[in-house]
Amino acid sequence: MYHLFRRDILVLFVAVMAGIAAGNYVRALYGSSVLAVLASAAAIVAVGAAAEYLLRRFCSPMREGE
């Protein structure tokens, strides 16, 4: 079983929340479910990558137990 660190869980949570928000916004704006799903997936990938980059750059390395 893969062990997730707290920061990984935080990144996943933030990315999924941003994806849900983006999907809802696009769905309300254009009325298209397909565009909503694509926007949601794109937001999850983009926010996840940005959060990982920022955490690596500005946070100290985490110990193995955290």
Question: Which DSSP string corresponds to 9-45?
Answer: HHHHHHHHHHHHHHHHHHHHHH--HHHHHHHHHHHHH
Predicted local distance difference test score (pLDDT) of residue 56: 84
Q: Are 22 and 41 in contact (CB under 8 A)?
A: no
Length of the chain equals 66
Model confidence, pTM: 0.78
> Which segments in the chain show pLDDT lower than 70?
1, 60-66
% of the chain exceeding 90 in pLDDT: 58
Predicted local distance difference test score (pLDDT) of residue 65: 53
Give how far the C-alpha of residue 56 lies from the chain's centroid of Cα atoms, to the nearest Å. Answer: 15
CA quadruple 28, 29, 32, 37: dihedral, nearest 10: -80
Predicted local distance difference test score (pLDDT) of residue 24: 96
